[in-house]
Every structure is written in structure tokens, then in C-alpha cells.
Structure 1
Amino acid sequence: MQTTIFNTPIVTPVLRLVARLLLKLHGWKVVADERALKLKKYVLLAAPHTSNWDGYFFILAALKLKVNPQWMGKDKLFQFPLGGAMRWFGGIAVDRSKANNLVEATINQYKSREELVIAVPPEGTRGKSERWKTGFYHIARGAAVPVVCGFIDFARKEAGLGPVMEMGENLARELARFGEYYATKVGKYPGDYTPPV
């Protein structure tokens, strides 16, 4: 298992205390669906994603909840001098210049591990775009793992893990379910949020 900010001996317990303090100072609350906390493998959505502040509160929430999320990033992010830090923050380098199938590679990662949580911002960018990217859906279906609705809500000052959703065969129906759930979550810049459909 990759050593990250979320599972480093000695350091992580201290960071959890710091995260609790920072959340309290910011006036933020962390909430979680109890079922999500018991899962070992799932795809973790990270939405709405409209600001770099999302990552900050997401990390604080993950530390408090004792979750160990990882994320995929362009391999250029993992070059010297920041490569080690990016991996420690849960990053997995992806070479996008090659014609590799990221969905299939991620499914294989799930199949080869006993525990794995990959965080995916389905909007794909902090700015407004046309629609959600659906790779997370195909990964969940192919790996036979559920999707957990991770969220940031600046209006309520809440972050955490929402409902656990098993993915059915109808993509449009699943996106509509996500749309209904995330319609109540407000990003830092609401105008930049891209709904699923």
C-alpha cells in the first residue's frame, strides 16, 4: 500500500488532530454516511469542484474520517521536485501521452487490491464545462464497487461522505440520481458548478 498523508505512522495521527482544529477554526462540520465508513473499496466522487479550496477541505475531512483516498494526475505533476509530495498526498501518476485505457487500468488496480479508494472530480475541471465525465461510472461498474458521494458544501460549511450508490446499467438514470443529490450542495463559486446532466 502506498504511504500517504492519510496513513503515515506517527505523522498521520498528529495531522488528524491538526485537521480537527482547523475545521473547528473554520467553523466547518464533517459528516459521513455510516455505510461509507465501513467500505474498503469504492469510487469517491469529489463534487462540487469549483475552487482549489475544495482540495483543502477535502483533505481535512478525509483526515478526520480516517479515509485514505488516492487520485489520478498527469505524470508531469509527479516530476522533480514535487513528485514525492504529490504521491504523499495520494497521487497516482498517469501518462496521458500514451494511448492507454485509464478506465481499464483503474479497474485492474481495484481488482488487485484489498483496499482502494480513488477520488474522482467528475466535473474534470474547476471551471464550467458541458457535463460530467463518466469514467467513474465505468470504473465502478467494471470493478464491481460502489460509488460514494463525497461532497463539499460551502453554504452549510460541511464536507464529507454522502450516500453509497451501486451503479445500475442505465447511465442516464444514475446521472440523474447524482444530479438530485448534488443539487443541494453549493461550491465556493456556484456559477462554475457543472451538473451531471
Structure 2
Amino acid sequence: MTQPSGTRQEQILNLLLAAANGLSIDELAAEMQISRNAVKQHLVGLEKQQLVAEAALNSTGGRPARSYKLTEQGRNRLPKQYGWFCQLLLAELKAELGEAALRQMLGRMGANLAQSLAPQFSGKSPQAKRLALVELMQTLGYRAELETDDGQTSLKAVNCVYHDLAQQIPELCEFDRVLIGTLLDSTIKQTACMAQQDCACRFRICAGER
């Protein structure tokens, strides 16, 4: 039975991961026990996704053969354990520094990031800053939007980009609070948190209270 394209493509990525100098179509076909044409088709798909690229010509004793290698994007497609490592690191920092100091550190990180983003918000009206913040958070994957209830405006995010981490290290929310508050030049009160089993994260914007 023919395996799904994705499975074959993952096979190619794994084979190229172990071959620093790349592999030719013939070498890939021999390893996978499929035809050269089938390998070519999968390579075309992987090239379109920018996961593999042509490498140098390899001398095989006959006519030189073109080899293929992973791109950086291709390497990043393979499984990584960033979240697991971040959890270990943050847990160690929390044990070493304590909850309050970790929260302060994350707050400073949020403030520093806000300072680097400040030119995008400089000179804007309060409402324009809020819209710019929504656009920024959308690019980061938060699925954010503004909502108003009884005259109070809140920023609502339905995707916590570090949900699993925040469940283990709730101090992470301080990063978001300070980042949002600094960019909007407003006091921010978090009224809901997905890491605490709420349906969304909500940050109430308290204009004029900062």
C-alpha cells in the first residue's frame, strides 16, 4: 500500500538530517525502497515548501549526481522540545529566585520588549494604539480582539501562546500585563486567564489610571 505523501516526505527529511553533505535521488530511492520518480515528486513538494534545497554535485564514479540537503526551515520542521526546556528553565529560576522575583523579572522583560516596539506606537491616539496592539498580538498568534462592556474596554485573547507553560508557571502572565500596559501607557487589570481554566485571557484597559 502506498504511504501518504506526508509520511514519505518526513522520511526524506529524517534521512537528510543524518546526512550533512546531502543525499542524491538515487541514494534516497535506495534507502526508501521506492522509485526515483517518486523521490523526485516528493522533493519537488519539499522544495516548494522551502524545506530542502539542492546541494553540491556528488561524484559517484560515473556522472556527477545532484544531491539535496535540509534548509534551516526544514530542520525547524522536525520535532523540537522548546516548551519542555523552557519549563525546566523557568521552574529552576522560580526555585532559585522565588515567585516575586521571577514575576519582577518577567515584568522587566515585558517592559524591555515594549520599549523596542515603542516607535510603532509613538504619536498615536489611545484608540490607534489599541488597534496597533491587536494587530501586533495577531501576528504573535494570540487571536486578539478588543471588546467593550459597560463602557470598559478589554483586550481579549482566545489563544495563549504559552498555555502549557503558564499553567505550570502562572507568573508568565506578568510579561503580557506589563507589555500591554507599557505599549498602551495604561494600567492593565487581567480579569480572565486561560491558564486558570477561563475561556479566554482578558486584560481590562484602565485609561488614565497609570
Superposition TM-score, scaled by structure 1 size: 0.24
* Higher fraction of helix: 2
Larger RCO (CA under 8 A, 6+ residues apart): 1
Which protein shows a greater Rg?
A: 2
TM-score (norm 2): 0.23
